[in-house]
Structure 1
Amino acid sequence: MIAASGMRAFPPRLPEQPIFYPVLTEAYAVKIARDWNVSASGCGHVLRFAILRRFIDAYEVHEAGGREHLEYWIPSEDLADFNAAIVGPIELVKTFP
């Protein structure tokens, strides 16, 4: 659970989570946090961060069920490099209890 803004990195993935899915829009992040994460785990969070273009350009944008559902698929073994490419803090934007 993310308790405060100002994080600098995402935690390692669990063995059953081989992919990290950062999404491209706040609206899609809200939908996931509010509509899916709350029912699955009791709460959901929307985070905002910036990442170096030269890093993220190595990955394709995937459409996940609709044109407004755009996300990157980052393999868990690339998460340390992903975290190193984050510029500034990871901000907590919204929480859905």
Structure 2
Amino acid sequence: MTTKTTTTLWRPTGPTELDLVRQLDFRAWPPRLPEQPIFYPVLNENYAIMIARDWNVKHDGAGYVTRFEVDTDFLSRYPVQQVGGSTILELWVPAEDLDEFNTHIVGQIEVIHEFH
């Protein structure tokens, strides 16, 4: 029996997206809106906290940090994007890849921080 190696990702999110994740039983991310051509999971918890606390709360009234595992081999198709300092790291998953991305989530999406 082979066990897949997974990578932990985080996603800062607002209440609307979190409600959609809840409707999907915390097993998938909802489709992107037309103005959202890319899904951006991040590679470290502190960066996710910063976005949820400083951006989502300001724009949505609440911010959440989620954590989830994805098959590492699958993720290798998405190069890590450094969008700021050395710890400001994201994956850029095209919206059209999100259904396939969701099939590679291992386990459930967990809410690990909440900000108001």
TM-score by structure 2 length? Answer: 0.79
Q: Deviations over 1:46-78 (max 9, x none)?
A: 000000011101110001111110000000000
Q: Deviations over 1:6-61 (max 9, x none)?
A: 60001110000000000000100000100111111111110000000111011100
Question: Secondary structure at the residue paired with 2:87?
Answer: coil
Give the structure 2 partner of residue 10 of structure 1. 29
Determine if the alignment matches structure 1 residue 79 to structure 2 residue 61.
no
TM-score by structure 1 length? Answer: 0.94
Q: Cα RMSD between the aligned structures?
A: 1.2
The alignment covers a number of residue pairs equal to 96
Of all paired residues, the percent bearing the same amino acid is: 53
Give unmatched runs, 5+ long, in structure 1. Answer: none
Question: Secondary structure at the residue paired with 1:12?
Answer: coil
Distance 1:43 1:64 in 2: 24
Distance 1:24 1:65 in 2: 13
Give unmatched runs, 5+ long, in structure 2. Answer: 1-14
Determine if the alignment matches structure 1 residue 37 to structure 2 residue 56.
yes
